[in-house]
Structure 1
Amino acid sequence: MNGAVSMVFFPAQAGFDLAWAREALTAQGLSVDAQPGALAVRWDEDGPVLRVAYAQGEQIAREALERAGEGAPAEARLRACTARFEIAIDDLDEALDEMNTLIEVQSTLQDGTGGYLFNAWNAQWSA
């Protein structure tokens, strides 16, 4: 399976942006390279590269609610999520096979922001 995305939705706050993500991911021992509008993140030279991007605006809350579905348990909290980190995965099979990188990136961004994680490939949410 190729091409997948994982997203961390959270309320927009000063300080949570790509610069913050770069610092937080680097502190976890990941290799982080800045690219135009994104970060390329990997655990080691042979592992998968994940691309982390940041978006902010009212459309982010609408997107979170659309993905969650009407009447979702966290609906009220998702309405406040006007920012997100998007983790683009070129090869999902490779990323899941070496899942340490994906888990570290997801947990660092989710724990740091207090956000909600959504995996598009299986439509699963994690608070």
Structure 2
Amino acid sequence: MPTYAAIIYSSDLDWTAPEQEAVMADYTEFGEAAAAVIRGGAALYPTGTATTVRVRGGKGGDIVTTDGPFAETKEVLSGFYLLECADLDEAIKLAAQIPGAWDGGVEVRPIIQFGG
């Protein structure tokens, strides 16, 4: 069966903060309901903890780092699931149940399986 990345875009929050407890309960509920098809996933810390890495001049060039993401947006990449589904329709149906879809967005994208 194909695997899909359900990439969650939401407000830039610290999911470990006590005030996110109710939303995290919704994520727990989703995780339990979709456990049969979830193949991985993670929540991400806020963008303030991110470092963007670029290599100037291509392979072997100078490594340049900057704090945070490249661009500021209303919604940020806040987590993802890997879902093994029969087809895109099933993946979309599951993505609609991810709490991030209720007030943000969930991008569903097929994963390329390289090698064996």
Tell me which protein shows more helix as a share of its residues: 1
The TM-score with structure 1 as length reference comes to: 0.45
Tell me which protein shows more strand as a share of its residues: 2
Q: Over alpha carbons, which structure has the higher Rg?
A: 2
